[in-house]
Structure 1
């Protein structure tokens, strides 16, 4: 068989095996493959997929997409909803088809989510060099555009000879299924090698299981952690995505309820506790709640579980102001367990570490003063969100009201999707989640354009979940006009497959998030408005609003569109529109709900900070004022050693 045929048959026979509390999961690791075909893969992977479609259509189903980057985003969305047990493979042609995957690779690796990338490459034999779309470097002829994947991938290999396929695939799938190392796995396939025939051993094509490694914590590490917790007066848990990937939310709830230790969560950790749990402080950091940030400021012990401590989580290292603060970092990845110079790293699966902590803590409970503070801060923040969600008539609604209406209209098990702009921060603060699968915001890379393809990936996983007897979930994408314009064409994918993806499209005529950031930094929302060019001043800041009709655009792509008119009943009509979309049949195609908002109506303050440097010298008075504020914040920035 050819190399491409061997790739397809091999991948169709790979299974993930995972055991949680004695319950064993076994499922296909790669349930399908995306591909856009060109001269690099049409006669290789394309031919193999067609052959197996005719002979065994269940082995490796093929799915179309409209952009290679978007296909990677679909795979990542699917992987996250399946808790990294499954993902898709993506085949591309050489040149631009391959490099379109670079953003997808960076996103997957940054988020610690598995995706298998199979970009085609130039001729290994160099018989026809230079081929169409080949990049030539005079100093190194063995470099191709695919070498750009090396720093973006957790594993990279190039199959220059058919016999190399075996070690490439085994090594790649080892990384793909490793919780500590997972991310983008890139295996470059030269176009001539794909079509080359060779002898393939039966054992390579046989069914193979990849067991998810969930390492136990060291007993001595647990002992030292228990001593530190017992000595703490104001401990705080920061829960990240690792809690959800380890299915540790139940153990975390038991830990919090037994000890009284409150829990704040990162973007990836939303859902570890329901929003109304008495010990859930909600989001922490730059986009956090005032409740979580107030408790964090005085905490003397931070128990980080499954978090990589990015700068939004730590408020650029200003969140923790107690001079004696220490860190217990529980993480399956040593890179994250050792962050901030902690003297208490625990390299282990989050659930297994929590099980042992729960067994070892005995009757420990925090003091009544901390419990009272947690209740008071939580009550204060809940009132702030209630007020932000409260409908008040303005010419255009605030994004807060839109979030509140969408949240109310969705069922607890439904999933909200977002990635970029002002929405992720506002959702992190205010979205009231009741289900551990109910919140999916890609904020490690915060990639504009992720929302629709990422939502499609989640919806595919949700449909498979429902077919296996699990929850029935609607998937609702919330996206601003700026991010929508980056990758709206994947609506066509949903139309082609009649996938019911609900899209709340918020039109604010620009980049609301960067506009607000620009203003806070003294740059006066420069370059963030969608306006006609003023040729005399060469400015886009003050011209007329562009006559763009995004609702009509979505309609032209085949989506059903519901326009929510601006007026006194806008928010009520939005709730009704989301309900109407939810009532649509499951395989009726995408539904876009279009609404306009006022980008100048801000979300409630997190009373926190994010470090974005301000010009030290400037002729603009606004920048001078911003630099004075920036200098003041820098005085509270800490090294966080402990």
Structure 2
């Protein structure tokens, strides 16, 4: 057997270069590059291997391990899971920083390869710098924390173990039905150890993504169920986008005259302007989709996990029949559904043939629902706050004095919905937006009109604050010719924006539009809507008289912070300033940040949805008692499984 003597790290780099994906006859390299922050535990191991011979892998310098792993996740997501960027970290805090990113990738079923530095396999220098010593189990290290958030986890304690570990890693990373984070722990001594690796380990490996076809029995059952219904509703999930099944989905909806709604992962799979597209559904859905969902006699979920936001915590369609088309039997089996286990495109094609001649009984309901929602969209976009009266979007609990305080401190009268509506109008149709957490995802799923496909990139499986800006970098790597806009709240920006520096370093221009309402506005709404007074969710100074965080509103100039990194920045307090900033940002070649001050409590609302959250059963507050009683009433109406 022919072999080559390499260190484990050199063998790993060589192996990654030999991995390819083939989908619908098109073959592409699977691993595009490696994000890394070199440190104790990877710089002289993997670092040496990448410096000496990276092959075709491009090495990116991260600024925060969580941020770079988010960027890698976004790259894979925007690439429809056909290509990845691996992430290499040091020992201890370097690897621990990536746990959140691993969970984010796994929750969203996006392939993410994490190569975490680890302590010595020999244990001879124990305890090494950054090592945690668990007295009950000396085999444990920081990296064991990844076990609960990884789809596959392994530790390479001998160089030859790399072979079986990486074969398994590739199996999971390319599994369209059950992928997510893959964590390979690399003890720092083993990284530099050599072994005679057989040459066949480095041969070109093509991982074929075959379109799984459904069984005849499942298609017959699905067709029979649909034929028995008059007003079904389709839900377009992320699986439709990853399957690249948009045209087939559109044809299915048009052929049988079935309206379709979208999940966060599915949105922009088909243009928002399509006559049958009634928009986002559920807790962050709009009135059109939510009304039709509650009156439908069959829900057809294609490539969706049916999260609590999609089902409105199972309040919607509590007894309605459900049909699923999904590669994952786990997700397809939810809500006691009739299930078709198949690739979205193959499943829809087979079902289309079996349904020949069927047509729903919808008349003008879809057109009317869209018309009414478009009128609401126009209203949300054109709201003007005069300062004399409350606008409907300013929710209860804030009195005129508080609103005036925010107007004065932030120097703005801009409602968030108005800003979003105009951004949607002023940026190019093929621009890609990214977002993840706070009130913006709800406003975006309801209000954002995706004029071109695959231009809406939201992480909402884990709703991870800090994903927004890092993801824009990953999307820009995947789509270098398009403008990318990260829409972020001030809370998310403060939590993680370090990969802005990497974008400047790489010359990968991205645009950050930062909505500053001086607080964790979404969670402030959540607590106040459930009877709790505003508490530690606004950005206020400590009041030394009361001892609470209820002092003056913090005033932060985010534009100045980004300017210090080298970004082109803008401060926005009016619509005219916003338009001027967006137009000027289009001319820039460096990353930009537009700091937009918006009034709190100016988001969209629930449009008939409900979100099940834990509320105190025992309390002295009447408002909390009332919220608890309402929750119990809603639970009585919701589906129980």
Query: Normalised by the shorter chain, which TM-score bucket?
Result: over 0.9
Q: How does 1:371-410 map to 2 (within 5 A)?
A: 371-394=363-386, 395-410=412-427
d(CA) in 2 for partners of 1:160 and 1:430?
Answer: 51
d(CA) in 2 for partners of 1:493 and 1:273?
Answer: 32
Alignment deviations for residues 258-293 of structure 1 (CA, whole Å, 9 cap, x no partner): 101110111111013211211111000011011111
Which position in structure 1 is the counterpart of 2:395? none
8 A Cα contact 1:409 1:576, kept in partner: no
Alignment deviations for residues 393-435 of structure 1 (CA, whole Å, 9 cap, x no partner): 5442111011111111122221111001100111011100122
Which position in structure 2 is the counterpart of 1:461? 478
d(CA) in 2 for partners of 1:452 and 1:417?
Answer: 8
1:560 aligns with 2:568: yes
Q: How does 1:80-99 map to 2 (within 5 A)?
A: 80-99=77-96
Alignment deviations for residues 504-528 of structure 1 (CA, whole Å, 9 cap, x no partner): 1111111110011111011122111
Relative to structure 2, which stretch is displaced further, 506-515 or 273-282?
273-282
Structure 1: 4+ residue segments shifted above 3 A: none
Alignment deviations for residues 87-118 of structure 1 (CA, whole Å, 9 cap, x no partner): 11111111111111100100000000001000
d(CA) in 2 for partners of 1:495 and 1:72?
Answer: 18
d(CA) in 2 for partners of 1:341 and 1:547?
Answer: 51
8 A Cα contact 1:384 1:604, kept in partner: no
1:546 aligns with 2:538: no
8 A Cα contact 1:391 1:571, kept in partner: no
Which position in structure 2 is the counterpart of 1:620? 621
d(CA) in 1 for partners of 2:204 and 2:363?
Answer: 53
d(CA) in 2 for partners of 1:613 and 1:202?
Answer: 57
Q: How does 1:5-154 map to 2 (within 5 A)?
A: 5-19=10-24, 24-53=25-54, 56=55, 59-154=56-151
Is there any run of 5+ residues in structure 1 with no aligned partner, and where?
464-471
1:428 aligns with 2:445: yes
Q: TM-score, normalised by structure 1?
A: 0.93
- Structure 1 counterpart of 2:534, from 525, 530, 536: 525
Shift of residue 163, structure 1, vs aligned partner: 0.9
Q: How does 1:185-200 map to 2 (within 5 A)?
A: 185-200=182-197
Which position in structure 1 is the counterpart of 2:346? 352
- Structure 2 counterpart of 1:299, from 293, 296, 299: 296
8 A Cα contact 1:178 1:213, kept in partner: no
CA RMSD of aligned residues (A): 1.3
2:196 counterpart SS class: coil
d(CA) in 1 for partners of 2:294 and 2:60?
Answer: 48
Which position in structure 2 is the counterpart of 1:504? 513
Shift of residue 391, structure 1, vs aligned partner: 4.7
Which position in structure 2 is the counterpart of 1:494? 503
Shift of residue 379, structure 1, vs aligned partner: 1.2
d(CA) in 1 for partners of 2:27 and 2:429?
Answer: 27
1:571 aligns with 2:575: yes
1:364 aligns with 2:358: yes
d(CA) in 2 for partners of 1:87 and 1:276?
Answer: 31
8 A Cα contact 2:67 2:497, kept in partner: no
Shift of residue 480, structure 1, vs aligned partner: 0.9
Shift of residue 561, structure 1, vs aligned partner: 0.2
Which position in structure 2 is the counterpart of 1:340? 335
1:485 aligns with 2:494: yes
Is there any run of 5+ residues in structure 2 with no aligned partner, and where?
1-5, 387-411
Q: For the structure 1 residues 371 and 277, does the alpha-carbon distance in structure 2 shift closer, same or farther, using more than 3 Å as the test? A: farther
1:513 aligns with 2:530: no
2:115 counterpart SS class: strand
8 A Cα contact 2:443 2:603, kept in partner: no
d(CA) in 1 for partners of 2:622 and 2:545?
Answer: 24
Q: How does 1:240-319 map to 2 (within 5 A)?
A: 240-319=237-316
Q: How does 1:149-168 map to 2 (within 5 A)?
A: 149-168=146-165
Shift of residue 537, structure 1, vs aligned partner: 2.2
Shift of residue 377, structure 1, vs aligned partner: 1.4
Which position in structure 2 is the counterpart of 1:331? 326
Which position in structure 2 is the counterpart of 1:466? none
1:411 counterpart SS class: coil
Shift of residue 205, structure 1, vs aligned partner: 1.6
Which position in structure 1 is the counterpart of 2:398? none
Shift of residue 624, structure 1, vs aligned partner: 2.5
d(CA) in 1 for partners of 2:385 and 2:581?
Answer: 19
Alignment deviations for residues 209-240 of structure 1 (CA, whole Å, 9 cap, x no partner): 11113211111111111111111022111111
Q: How does 1:199-238 map to 2 (within 5 A)?
A: 199-238=196-235
Alignment deviations for residues 526-567 of structure 1 (CA, whole Å, 9 cap, x no partner): 1111111012322113x1112321111111121110222x2x
Which position in structure 2 is the counterpart of 1:473? 482
Which position in structure 2 is the counterpart of 1:469? none
8 A Cα contact 2:218 2:339, kept in partner: yes
Shift of residue 494, structure 1, vs aligned partner: 1.2
d(CA) in 2 for partners of 1:184 and 1:381?
Answer: 38
Alignment deviations for residues 41-98 of structure 1 (CA, whole Å, 9 cap, x no partner): 1110001111015xx5xx2221001111111101111001110001111111111111
1:88 counterpart SS class: strand
8 A Cα contact 1:297 1:319, kept in partner: yes
d(CA) in 2 for partners of 1:605 and 1:14?
Answer: 46
1:595 counterpart SS class: strand
8 A Cα contact 1:388 1:604, kept in partner: no
Shift of residue 39, structure 1, vs aligned partner: 1.7
Q: TM-score, normalised by structure 2?
A: 0.93
2:457 counterpart SS class: strand
- Structure 1 counterpart of 2:464, from 437, 447, 455: 447
Shift of residue 191, structure 1, vs aligned partner: 0.3
d(CA) in 2 for partners of 1:213 and 1:309?
Answer: 24
Alignment deviations for residues 612-636 of structure 1 (CA, whole Å, 9 cap, x no partner): 1221222223222322332332222
